[in-house]
């Protein structure tokens, strides 16, 4: 499903060069539930961004479904992200000016789809995360856990095969965090959605089928 | 999708009230100025009530004589048109009129000043006046030099106290005329139809004007059809080579082209080559466009800056949209929709303001009888300006934003 080969990511400024990732080789099989762990600044989010095609490696290749991404144009990558990848962020990144329903529809705006279909899909996604009753609310009217559930609904509304979650429970208390983990586990189990999750939390990582550990930009297992 | 963009745009504009106010102020003020200028042009040069045949009418208002050391500009002379223009090919009608001049009427110890124009009968056939009393003078009136006059409503009010004036007489410029027609007032900004009093040119105190090549006369040539207009222009220019100039030692060439209304105006503008008999419209349009763009540039740059900061505040939204597969084109489209909405609102505000300003100009009496209004054509100009303005000020920030790296955008936008 996702294959990273000899990945290196270096950030360069005028004065310094920072190696964020080096010699990373990782394959995530279809239907896998993988967590990435490691201390702050070890390259976890960078790795997730490379998998999500939000950034390009300095060296090495990223393959999604067997196709090397380097050959893709920006437009083709945008289309691939839209179709196959969903994102959940630690800070939710909901658009504050839009209602819950409109937020969830965002990925569908970039597909050929009628307004009515978009709405039906968004309502179904909100139903899955238990937020149907809040679809006309605005993000500021929701708790952190509810906002993250909206973010998950937005990530899954387009039925992507891959879900990338960057510390999805990092800003939530333990009960809300458990709720989010339960939703992710259900998606993985019932829909066979491939999930890669960055986390600091050993307990949450233990609920996934595989843990990848990073230290100073290198895999340690 | 557009509905989604519009909903978001309205919310963003309402949330950022100060930015919205500053943007709207800049847009509406700029559009106000442009719309008022457009209204003036439309009023002065467009095909109005009195000039319905303007699209196939050519005008000759200014001549230029020049030699190696001298140039002299003036209106045309009666002889120039009478002798060289009457039988031009493709001509349906030719009308000559003396330039309007101020004359006085003394009534009960009061001096009443009016603008008088001496002209011929064809003048009334090419132009279209709204008569409230009587009719215009005809061929016989001109041929027999009858002292008849057409006056406008304002002159009727001043001289006859607003009472019906048909058949009444009045004195102007030391001559007594009988009123045979009263027309609605014509704006002083429309130089050809404008006057307070029109009388047959044959009533002039002297006929010395009939021997002048240059002088105080203008001509209107109504072409049979649009295709004949070029032939009239070309043929008259070629005939000018045969004209005996009044002072051949100083002047060797005469430029006196029959041109469209806009071209006669363009000829008097800066950068026009007055020695070139061909149309100077493109120079005028170029100059006017350049000035217009410069005028629009300052608020547009300002708006670009405001837009950039407004958009960069929403970097995380851009990051999210990119992450979920928004192509650059869709993001540019989204922010253009927002910007065009803003400028269309600004345009509408500017449009309403310009109605008040034009009403103020009309009420001020600064331009006699001018009734400046924002008509549908000017409204279309205004909206076109607004959309153009929206595009100019929105494309660059939208393009720059659409190129943000999604990871950087999600972190807040700094590159």
pLDDT tens sequence for chain B (415 residues): 777 788 888 888 888 888 888 888 888 888 888 888 888 888 888 887 899 999 999 999 999 999 998 999 999 999 999 999 999 999 999 999 999 999 999 988 899 999 999 999 999 999 999 999 999 999 999 999 999 999 999 999 999 998 999 999 999 989 999 999 999 999 999 999 999 999 999 999 999 999 999 999 999 999 999 999 999 999 999 999 999 888 888 999 999 999 999 999 999 898 889 899 998 999 999 998 898 888 877 877 887 888 788 777 888 888 999 999 998 888 888 888 888 888 888 888 888 998 999 999 999 989 999 998 886 676 677 678 778 877 877 888 888 878 888 888 888 754 4
Instruction: Judge: B7–A102 Cβ closer than 8 Å, yes or no.
Output: yes
Mutate to test the interface with A, among B14, B319, B323 (most CBs of A within 10 A): B323
Is A122 in contact with A153 (CB distance < 8 Å)? yes
CA distance A166 to A171: 11
Q: How far is B349 from chain A (nearest CA, A)?
A: 25
| Set of chain B residues whose Cβ sits within 8 Å of the Cβ of A102 | 4, 7-8
| Set of chain B residues whose Cβ sits within 8 Å of the Cβ of A74 | 327-328
Q: Which domain holds residue A53?
A: 2-220
The partner residue sitting opposite A78, judged by closest CB among B1, B12, B325, is B325
The partner residue sitting opposite B320, judged by closest CB among A52, A74, A93, is A93
pTM: 0.71
Task: Note whether B328 contacts A: Cβ–Cβ < 8 A.
Answer: yes
Mutate to test the interface with B, among A110, A118, A166 (most CBs of B within 10 A): A110
The partner residue sitting opposite A97, judged by closest CB among B15, B326, B405, is B15
- Give counts: helices (H), strands (E), chain A: 7, 10
Per-residue model confidence (pLDDT) at position B247: 85
Single out the residue of B44, B30, B38 nearest to residue B371, CA to CA: B44
Instruction: Judge: B8–A98 Cβ closer than 8 Å, yes or no.
Output: yes
Q: How far is B405 from chain A (nearest CA, A)?
A: 8
A54 to A91, B247, B319: CA distances (angstroms): 17, 81, 9
CA distance B172 to B161: 16
CA distance B382 to B357: 15
Single out the residue of B342, B404, B345 nearest to residue B19, CA to CA: B342
Encoding tokens for residue A41? 């600044």
Encoding tokens for residue A116? 């009515």
Instruction: Judge: B325–A75 Cβ closer than 8 Å, yes or no.
Output: no
pLDDT at A148 over 50: yes
Single out the residue of B36, B409, B103 nearest to residue A54, CA to CA: B409
Q: How far is B314 from chain A (nearest CA, A)?
A: 9
Summarize chain A as % helix, strand, coil (round to 5).
40, 25, 35
Question: How many beta-carbon pairs below 8 A join chains A and B?
Answer: 73
Per-residue model confidence (pLDDT) at position B415: 44
The partner residue sitting opposite A52, judged by closest CB among B3, B4, B323, is B323
Is A101 in contact with A126 (CB distance < 8 Å)? yes
Instruction: Judge: B406–A54 Cβ closer than 8 Å, yes or no.
Output: yes
CA distance B241 to B224: 25
How many structural domains comprise chain A?
A: 1
CATH of the domain at A44: 3.40.50.300
Per-residue model confidence (pLDDT) at position B413: 58
The three-class DSSP label of residue B273 is coil
Instruction: Judge: A97–B316 Cβ closer than 8 Å, yes or no.
Output: no
CA distance B161 to B214: 39
């Amino acid at each position: 499903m996702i294959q990273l080969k000899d990945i290196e990511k270096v950030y360069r400024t005028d004065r310094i060069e920072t190696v964020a990732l080096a010699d990373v080789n990782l394959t995530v099989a279809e239907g896998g539930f993988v967590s990435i762990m490691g201390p702050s600044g070890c390259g976890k989010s960078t790795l997730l961004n490379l998998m999500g095609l939000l950034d390009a490696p300095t060296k090495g290749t990223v393959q999604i479904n067997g196709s090397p991404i380097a050959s893709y144009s920006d437009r083709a990558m945008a289309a691939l992200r839209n179709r196959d990848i969903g994102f959940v962020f630690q800070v939710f990144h909901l658009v504050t000016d839009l209602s819950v329903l409109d937020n969830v529809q965002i990925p569908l705006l970039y597909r050929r789809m009628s307004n009515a279909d978009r709405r039906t899909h968004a309502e179904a996604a909100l139903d899955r995360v238990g937020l149907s009753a809040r679809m006309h609310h605005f993000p500021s009217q929701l708790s952190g856990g509810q906002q993250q559930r909206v973010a998950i609904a937005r990530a899954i509304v387009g039925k992507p095969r891959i879900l990338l979650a960057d510390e999805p429970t990092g800003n939530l208390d333990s009960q809300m965090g458990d709720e989010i983990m339960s939703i992710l586990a259900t998606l993985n189990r019932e829909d066979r959605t491939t999930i890669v999750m960055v986390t600091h939390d050993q307990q949450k990582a233990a609920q996934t089928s595989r843990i990848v550990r990073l230290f100073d930009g290198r895999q340690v297992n | 999708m557009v509905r989604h963009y519009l909903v978001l745009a309205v919310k963003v504009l309402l949330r950022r009230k100060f930015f919205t106010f500053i943007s709207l102020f800049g847009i509406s003020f700029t559009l106000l100025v442009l719309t008022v200028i457009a209204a003036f042009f439309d009023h002065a040069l467009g095909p109005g009530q009195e000039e319905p045949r303007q699209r196939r009418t050519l005008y000759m208002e200014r001549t230029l004589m020049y030699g190696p050391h001298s140039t002299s500009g003036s209106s045309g002379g009666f002889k120039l048109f009478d002798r060289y223009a009457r039988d031009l090919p493709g001509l349906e009608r030719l009308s000559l009129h003396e330039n309007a001049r101020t004359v006085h009427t003394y009534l009960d110890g009061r001096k009443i000043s009016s603008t008088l124009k001496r002209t011929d009968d064809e003048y009334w056939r090419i132009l279209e006046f709204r008569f409230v009393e009587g009719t215009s003078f005809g061929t016989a009136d001109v041929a027999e030099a009858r002292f008849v006059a057409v006056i406008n409503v304002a002159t009727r009010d001043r001289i006859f106290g607003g009472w019906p004036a048909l058949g009444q007489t009045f004195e102007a410029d030391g001559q007594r005329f009988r009123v045979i027609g009263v027309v609605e007032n014509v704006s002083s900004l429309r130089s050809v139809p404008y006057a307070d009093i029109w009388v047959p040119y044959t009533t002039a105190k002297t006929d010395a004007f009939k021997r002048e090549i240059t002088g105080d006369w203008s001509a209107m040539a109504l072409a049979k059809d649009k295709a004949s207009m070029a032939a009239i222009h070309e043929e008259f220019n070629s005939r000018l080579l045969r004209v005996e100039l009044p002072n051949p030692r100083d002047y060797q060439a005469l430029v006196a082209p029959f041109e469209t209304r806009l071209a006669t105006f363009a000829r008097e503008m800066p950068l026009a080559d007055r020695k070139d008999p061909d149309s100077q419209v493109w120079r005028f349009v170029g100059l006017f466009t350049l000035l217009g763009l410069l005028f629009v540039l300052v608020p547009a740059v300002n708006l670009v800056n405001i837009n950039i900061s407004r958009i960069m505040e929403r970097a995380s939204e851009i990051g999210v949209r990119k992450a979920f597969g928004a192509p650059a084109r869709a993001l540019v489209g989204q922010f253009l929709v927002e910007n065009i909405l803003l400028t269309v609102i600004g345009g509408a505000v500017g449009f309403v303001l310009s109605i008040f300003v034009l009403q103020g100009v009309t009420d001020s009496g600064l331009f006699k009888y001018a009734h400046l209004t924002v008509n549908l054509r000017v409204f279309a100009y205004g909206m076109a300006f607004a959309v153009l303005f929206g595009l100019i000020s929105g494309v660059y920030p939208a393009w720059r934003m659409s190129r943000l790296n999604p990871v950087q955008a999600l972190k807040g936008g700094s590159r």
